[in-house]
A and B are shown apart, each in its own frame.
Chain A
Amino acid sequence: MSEPAFSLKATGRLRRRQLVNKGMGALAIGAALLAVAVLAIVVISVASRGAGSLNLAFFTQNQAQGFNPKGGGVLFAIVGSAVLVGIATLIALPLGVLIAIYISELAPPRFARVARMALDISNGIPTIVIGIFVFTMLVAAHGQSAFAGSIGLAIIMLPLIARATEEVLLLVPSSQREASLALGVSRWRTTVQVVIPSALGGILTGTTLAIARAAGETAPLLFLTSLGASGNADANPFHPLQSLTLVIFTYSDLDPAYQSKAWAAAFTLMCFVLFTSLAAKLALARYRKKLGG
């Protein structure tokens, strides 16, 4: 066989192009590593400063009095957060599911588009604006309360639950609906007794994600439920209640004893939000795969 008169190796211009290619690849890897590094730095610094202050008293005692107190805990804030998010979920979950049913099953296409756009726009409204909105609507006249805070949180959770539910409703195979309708079952029963139970897993994980989001909110609560909130555990929604997030915010500015509690509260909240978000996303991914999404 005679000598080949050419080569398939990279030379000259191609070698330069390959260098550029590798360079860009390195930049991309670098950016990804940077993101992971930042995540690690934030998580580790919160963990290292917060975990140390975690003890039973932290979770079971209420706000200590005075300057630089030794003991005390954030029980009142945990209870407050639970009440705030709990009531918000009770409001947003049924509404969100109903809206999703309308958009995916019952609405004429133009209405569905309008509703979807409204949800997406609401999702993008800064939460502080939502806080001001509920403030002018409710608090100006009736004073602060956890209930007002829950309404603010519910407005924030609503688009998330509605969109997540809509997505899983669309994923339910139409063969299920058609089988039910073909048996003579009415549309509403089909939706309520066949489609929704099928979509339940997805609805729950979507709600969990919304709960994780609401648990991390601070800005709207500033106007709605912090003034005059007691430092003792209180579950009455008509009183203003503290939340874990508000405590982190307030304590961050105070003396070291409170600051260490702020770190501990931040660590607690971060663990809660990250674990529930991650678990919900994993469940959602598996659920989607099961339904063939």
Chain B
Amino acid sequence: MATSHADRDPALKRTRGWLDRIGDPALKAITFSAAALAVSILGLIAFELARGSRLAFHHFGLGFVTSQTWDTIHNQFGALSLIAGTAVTAVLATLIATPLAVAIALFLTELAPKPVRALLGALVEMLAAIPSVILGLWGILILGPFVENQLEPFLGSTLGFLPFFRGQHSPTGILTAVLVLTIMIVPIVASVTRELFTTVPPELREGALALGATRWEMVRGVLLPAARPGILAAVALGFGRAAGEAMAVLMVIGGTIGIHLSLFSHSDTLAARIAGQYQGASTNLQISSLVYLATILLVISLAVNVGAQLLIKPIDRRPRRRRIALDRALEVQGLSAD
């Protein structure tokens, strides 16, 4: 066999030493290990959480999920109140945030002139970057008094006939928590939705407009349906973020066990309870119960995340340029710190 170029050229010979012979497989092995580590961390998390909650599971079994008790004196714990609180706050925040976020995304892609688009887009992403502990601080010290002195009295007087708007006014509670969570997830949903809108081909828009549709009719009849799976995924991501938020919720929700109908009442969520009890946890059973709560939270967030991934999958098969647009959107989700 003829000698290769590399063997004949002395300069190239330098690159053909033993280092190069092992270099390629070595790089592959090293990077593979890193990737394997990342993948196995997921499994490790599940494993460790299961291990940590074993004690509590041994004591309470699956009944933990259906029990409302949280009694540190008698060492009786149950997750139902927390699950309810998580569900209520996350669902309400998502319900309020989604139309706002879609409207913002529509404004950015359809209505805003180019310079405004960049500026406003940046401002919306800045909202996502604010650390949640700061939003919690603002929530308890500034939003709280507003809720207690203005918002809840107003809602109580106008909508008090509904059971959701009754009861004592307080700076903390479900309402304040929902407001803070909404502020947190609007930028996430808006950014993902905005990137999604840019992947809808302009020919589709032009086709609708050329038929004599108004801009809104084009959005409603063509743009939104085309982007629907992605919007659902964005909503799922927002919901997951809201359900997993610990600090801001802890600071404004009032940390109380019990399921009540009114938005004015105090409550607690899985994440907030875990965060709130860390210092006071005295018994091993209590600590294990906290880990059990974390396991439940992990299951919820995994379900939501995997669901969102599956929704994004059909979009993922499109050309790379569009996938990158989606990745950029997801990175905004990574901006918000807990």
Of the listed stretches B74-82, B211-219, B256-264, chain A binds B211-219
Whole-angstrom CA separation of A159 from B131 in the bound complex: 18
Q: Which of A25, A127, A183 contacts B246 (CB 8 A)?
A: A127
Contacts of A273 in B (CB 8 A): 129-131, 337
Q: Which of A24, A45, A119, A130 contacts B138 (CB 8 A)?
A: A45
* Contacting pair B103 A136 (CB below 8 A): no
CB of A102 within 8 Å of the partner chain: yes
* Contacting pair B134 A136 (CB below 8 A): no
* Contacting pair A117 B309 (CB below 8 A): yes
* Contacting pair B27 A187 (CB below 8 A): yes
* Contacting pair B120 A32 (CB below 8 A): yes
Given contacts A38-B127, A184-B6, contact A249 B247 (CB under 8 A): yes
Contacts of B34 in A (CB 8 A): 95, 98-99, 102
* Contacting pair A252 B136 (CB below 8 A): yes
Which residues of B in the span 1-28 have a Cβ within 8 Å of any Cβ on A?
4-6, 9, 12, 15-16, 20, 23-24, 26-28
Q: Which of B27, B244, B291, B328 contacts A188 (CB 8 A)?
A: B27
Whole-angstrom CA separation of A128 from B275 in the bound complex: 7
Contacts of B16 in A (CB 8 A): 184, 186
CB of B274 within 8 Å of the partner chain: yes
* Contacting pair B35 A263 (CB below 8 A): no
* Contacting pair B39 A118 (CB below 8 A): yes
Whole-angstrom CA separation of A231 from B338 in the bound complex: 23
CB of B41 within 8 Å of the partner chain: yes
Contacts of A136 in B (CB 8 A): 48-49, 51-52, 291
Given contacts A167-B324, A227-B279, contact A216 B132 (CB under 8 A): yes
Q: Which of B48, B106, B246 contacts A219 (CB 8 A)?
A: B246
Contacts of B278 in A (CB 8 A): 222-223
* Contacting pair A106 B28 (CB below 8 A): yes
**B31, B45, B271, B294: residue with the most chain A Cβ atoms closer than 10 Å:** B31
Contacts of A216 in B (CB 8 A): 129-134, 337
Residues 242-258 of chain B: 1 if any A CB is under 8 Å from the residue's CB, otherwise 0?
01111100010000000
A193 to chain B, nearest CB (A): 10
Q: Which of A124, A129, A185, A217 contacts B294 (CB 8 A)?
A: A129
Given contacts A189-B20, A217-B131, A222-B275, contact A126 B297 (CB under 8 A): yes
Which residues of B in the span 91-118 have a Cβ within 8 Å of any Cβ on A?
99-100, 103-104, 106-108, 110-112
Whole-angstrom CA separation of A222 from B275 in the bound complex: 7
Whole-angstrom CA separation of A187 from B27 in the bound complex: 9
Contacts of B219 in A (CB 8 A): 24
Chain B's closest residue to A42 (CB) is: B138
Contacts of B336 in A (CB 8 A): 213
* Contacting pair B131 A123 (CB below 8 A): no
* Contacting pair A133 B338 (CB below 8 A): no
Whole-angstrom CA separation of A98 from B294 in the bound complex: 30
CB of B62 within 8 Å of the partner chain: no
Q: Which of A34, A125, A127 contacts B100 (CB 8 A)?
A: A34
**A31, A45, A135, A160: residue with the most chain B Cβ atoms closer than 10 Å:** A31
Whole-angstrom CA separation of A126 from B298 in the bound complex: 8
Of the listed stretches B155-163, B164-172, B200-208, B299-307, chain A binds B299-307
B293 to chain A, nearest CB (A): 9
CB of B187 within 8 Å of the partner chain: yes
Whole-angstrom CA separation of A123 from B305 in the bound complex: 9
Interchain Cβ contacts under 8 Å between A and B, 7 examples? A46-B137, A98-B35, A120-B330, A126-B240, A136-B48, A222-B275, A277-B129
**What is B's interface to A at a CB cutoff of 8 Å?**
4-6, 9, 12, 15-16, 20, 23-24, 26-28, 30-32, 34-35, 37-39, 41-42, 44-45, 48-49, 51-52, 99-100, 103-104, 106-108, 110-112, 120, 122-127, 129-138, 140-142, 183, 186-187, 190, 214-217, 219, 237, 240-241, 243-247, 251, 271, 274-275, 278-279, 290-291, 294, 297-298, 301-302, 304-306, 308-309, 320, 324, 327-328, 330-331, 333-338
